[in-house]
Amino acid sequence: MRVLKLKDVLSKTGLGKTSLYKLVSLSEFPKPISLGLRSVGWLESEIEAWIQEKINVRDQQLV
């Protein structure tokens, strides 16, 4: 299990910080986990599943 920091999540998804947190607040993106007093991270597996879901939606629209 790997935990990604914010900059890695932004890089992996192509999202901006504001967009990412907006999606989290709408429950449309995985919620971060607390790593300490002022540190959060995301499970890489959840981020990859979110990206795969976006790919699946795209592919269904092509049919």
For 6, counting Cβ atoms within 10 Å of its Cβ (0-12 exposed, 13-18 middle, 19+ buried), the class is middle
pLDDT in tens, 5-63: 999 999 999 999 999 999 999 999 999 999 999 999 999 999 999 999 999 999 988 76
| Domains held by the chain: number | 1
* Domain of residue 23, residue span: 3-61
For residue 61, the model assigns a pLDDT of: 84
